[in-house]
Amino acid sequence: MQAIKDIYRIGYGPSSSHTIAPMRAAKIFLENNEPFETYTVNLYGSLALTGKGHHTDRILKEVLGERAKINFCLDRSKDNCFEIIGRNKTKEVLWHIRSLGGGAIEIAEFPELDDNKEVYELNHFSQIKQYLKDHDLSLIEYIKSHENDLEAHLNEALNAMLESVERGLKYEAKINDDLKIDKIAKQLYEQAILKHDDDLKKMSYAYSASEENALGHTVVTAPTLGSCGIVASLMYYAYHDLKIEKDRLIQALMVGGLFGNIIKTNATISGALGGCQAEVGSACAMASAMIAFLNNEDLDVIEYAAEIGIEHHLGLTCDPVKGYVIIPCIERNAVAILRSFDAAKLSANLLKFRTHLVSFDMVVSSMNYTGQKLSPELKETSLGGLALEFKDDQTA
Ligand code: SF4
C-alpha cells in the first residue's frame, strides 16, 4: 500500500483526477525535460468527455503556457488517460499518463514517482487488524511507524480543510453561469443557527467546502476533490462545534486515511474508474471510521462504521450534469456527512448485540466488482444517468 499522505492532497478544484492529476503530470514533464517550442496534450476517456467542465484545459494551459494545444479525443477505447507531447525542430518527447483518482498518476515513461512507492506491506484491513493484535499496537502507532512525515502534512491538510469551509461560509457568489447555480452554504449555515439544527450545520459545512471546490479554489482531496466536502465538514464540525484539539483530529485523519488507502489499493477511489461509490462512498467510509475513532470506539466498531459507510453507497453512479462537479456532487457530499454519523452510531450499537458478517475488505472487493460492472456512461463521462436528463437543456 502507498502512503496515506497522498490521500490528502491540497490543490485547486474542481476535480482531483481532472485538475490535480494533469497539473502534476505537466509540472513533472517540465521539470524532467528541456524546454520545448510547443506542447500538445491529448485527453482520452472521461478526461476528454468532462475535461471542459472540470477545467482540465485551463489548468494545463496554466502550467504549459497559453499556447499549449489541448485535444479532447473522443476515443472510447482509452479510459482516464492522457498524453503530453513536447516538440521542437529536432526533438519530440511523448509521455503516456494515467489518472488514477485523488490526483494520483502513473507515467509510463517516468515510473519512479515518489507517490507510487509502496510504504505499507499489508494491504487488507483484516491483515492489519491481526498485525496490531500480534504486536500489541494501536492503529495510530502502526501508521506512525510507517510514515514519520505524516503528522506535519496532515497538520497542513487539516488547516486547508478548515480554511476551505470557513471561507465558503462567508460569501455569496454564482458558482456556474451555465447551470445558473449560486452558492448556498452561507444561507444554509444561517438557517442552521436560527433553528439550532446541528445536522443542517454539518450539511452547510459540506456545501461550503464542495462549493469552494466547484469554484476552483483551494481544497483538500479526501480521498478526491469531488468528495472533499465530507471529511472537511467533519473536521470543521469537530474543531469548531465539538472543540476537539487539532492533534486528535490529525489522528482521526490518519485513521480515515488508512481506510481510504485500503480502498485505493484494492479497488479505486476514482469516479471515472468506479463511479461515485468510489468517491463519495469512500469518503463516507473514511468519515464514518473517523467519527467512531473520535468517539473512542474500539477497532471492531471503527471497521464496522467504515464498512457501513461504503456498503450503502454500492452502485452509486457518477453522472455529473454537463460535466461540472456540481450536480449531483455538492448535495451528495451534504447527504454523506449525515450518513457517516449514522454509520458510526449504528456500528457502535449493533456490535453490542451481534458480530457483523460483512467485513471492510469484503465490501471493498464488492465495490471494485460493482465499479467494473458499471457501464462507461455512468463513470464520469456525462453520457448517462442524471447528466442525460439535461443533455439538451440550456437552463438546468
Ligand atoms: S458524481 Fe461523484 S464521482 Fe462523479 S464527479 Fe460528482 S462527486 Fe465525483
| 3 state SS for 104-168 | EEEECCCCCCHHHCCCCCCCCHHHHHHHHHHHCCCHHHHHHHHCCCHHHHHHHHHHHHHHHHHHH
Domains in the chain, CATH or no CATH each: 4-116 (3.30.1330.90), 125-389 (no CATH)
379 DSSP 8-state letter: B
With beta carbons less than 8 A apart as the criterion, state whether 188 and 330 touch. no
- Of all protein residues, the one whose alpha carbon is nearest to atom 6 of ligand 1 is 329
Say whether pLDDT at 358 is over 90: yes
- Over the stretch 11-21, which tens digit does the pLDDT of each residue have? 999 999 999 99
Q: State in Å: Cα 256 to ligand 1 middle.
A: 20
Cell of 92: 519530440
Q: Which helix (H) or strand (E) holds 84?
A: strand 81-87
Say whether pLDDT at 90 is over 80: yes
Q: Say how far apart CA 280 and CA 223 lie, in whole Å.
A: 9
Percent of the chain predicted with pLDDT > 70: 98
- Confidence tier at 395 by pLDDT (50, 70, 90): very low
- Residues within 6 Å of ligand 1 by CB: 226-227, 271, 276, 279-280, 318, 320, 325, 328-329, 380
Count of beta carbons in the 10 Å neighbourhood of residue 210: 34
Q: Most distant CA pair in the chain: distance in Å?
A: 73
Cell of 186: 452561507
Quote the pLDDT of residue 393.
63
Say whether pLDDT at 396 is over 60: no
- Ligand 1 atom at shortest distance from the alpha carbon of 276: 3
Whether residue 35 is preceded by a cis peptide bond, meaning omega within 30 degrees of 0, is: no
Q: Name the residue of 19, 175, 325, 390 to mutate for ligand 1: max ligand atoms within 8 A of Cβ.
A: 325
Q: Which residues pair with 106 in a beta bridge?
A: 98
Degrees to nearest 5, angle at CA 119 with 149 and 26: 80
Q: State in Å: Cα 279 to ligand 1 middle.
A: 7
